[in-house]
Amino acid sequence: MDLLMRQLAAKLQGMYRPAQVVVLASIIVMLASRTAYAHLVTSGVGPFYDGVAHFFVSPDDLLVVVALALAGGFSGKQVARWVAVVLPLAWLCGMLAVSVLPATSEVSPTLGAVTMLTSGLLLCACPTGAGWLVLPCVAIMGVVHGWLNGNAVASTGTSLLAGLGIVTASAVVGLLLSALSISLTAAWQRIMLRVAGSWIAAMGLLALAWQFRTVAS
């Protein structure tokens, strides 16, 4: 596991510039778009890949995993290893819990905003080596997002393979970003992680307030 994390970290360092290009290109494409589609019915490549694609185009899921994985790597290799295991497992448990817990389509955006705010604050403010704080947060938020995803999968009658695709995508992103976070050792890079956390928290806070405005109106 240690060797795998180190190899991933080394590869990610090499991929740093291409990754920047991909992010910039994505933002440009986003800004150039005009029409959106509310429901992912099918991508034409099967339910598993529908789930994978859904994860990457769901900002609330994606940003939470980004923040948690970076926070895990920020807390050290040991915590990062645990995050890579706990996050997908918790996500899966949350999905499986759908059969027990009641449906929540009404509050899912609010919960998503709350987890985004919390995970951002965690990345922004958690002390170095705070595995005792990061891992429970990862477990709780993994369960919450898994539950929300699983709830929606069940309510729309989508194949469970789509849920498995979401879990797989979260696991891969969590692993890669944990490794990336470990490789960022320079002071300014560590501070950039904190800045990223504060931005994610700010997005979550604003999204949360947005939900209350919707309720009020």
Partner 1 sequence: MFALDHYNSACLYLFRDKWAGLLGHVSGEVSGGMQSGLLHPVSGLDHVLAMVAVGLWGAQLGAPQIWLLPIVFPLVMACGAALGVMGLQLPGVEIGIASSAIVLGIMVLFEAKPPIVVSSILVGVFAIFHGHAHGTELPHGESGILFSIGFVIGTGLLHAAGIGIGVIHRWPWGEKCLRAAGALVFMGGCYFLADSLGWIS
Task: Write down the least CB distance from residue 37 to partner 1, Å.
Answer: 4
For the CB of residue 25, give the shortest distance to partner 1 in the complex, in Å.
10
**Angstrom distance (rounded) from CA 138 to CA 145:** 10
Which residues in this chain contact partner 1 in the complex, by CB under 8 A?
A: 26, 29-31, 33-44, 51, 53-54, 56-61, 63, 105, 108-109, 112-113, 124, 145, 148-149, 151-153, 155-156, 158, 162-163, 166, 188, 191, 194-195, 198-199, 201-214, 216-217
Which residues make Cβ contacts (< 8 Å) with residue 164, sequence separation at least 6?
48, 51
User: How far is Cα 175 from Cα 69, in angstroms, rounded to an integer?
Assistant: 7
Reduced to 3 states (helix: H, G, I; strand: E, B; else coil), residue 68 is helix
Please report, in angstroms and rounded to a whole number, the separation of the first and last CA atoms in the chain. Answer: 51
Between 5 and 52, CB nearer to partner 1:
52
Nearer to partner 1, 9 or 124 (CB): 124
Provide the sign of the torsion angle of the four alpha carbons 73, 77, 78, 81, taken in this order.
positive
Nearer CB in complex with partner 1: 85/140 = 140
Give least dist CB 133 to partner 1, A.
19
Q: How far is the CB of 23 from partner 1 (least distance, A)?
A: 11
Least separation in angstroms between CB 14 and partner 1? 25
Question: Using CA atoms, how far apart are residues 122 and 144, in angstroms rounded to an integer?
Answer: 16
Q: Token digits for 101?
A: 């817990």
Please give the backbone phi and psi of residue 186, each rounded to the nearest 5 degrees, phi first: -65, 150
Residues 12/13/16/17 CA torsion (nearest 10 deg): -130
Q: Looking at residue 45, what DSSP letter applies?
A: S
Cβ proximity to partner 1: between 3 and 216 the closer is 216
Give the single-character DSSP code of 129: T
Smallest gap from residue 3 Cβ to partner 1 (A) = 33
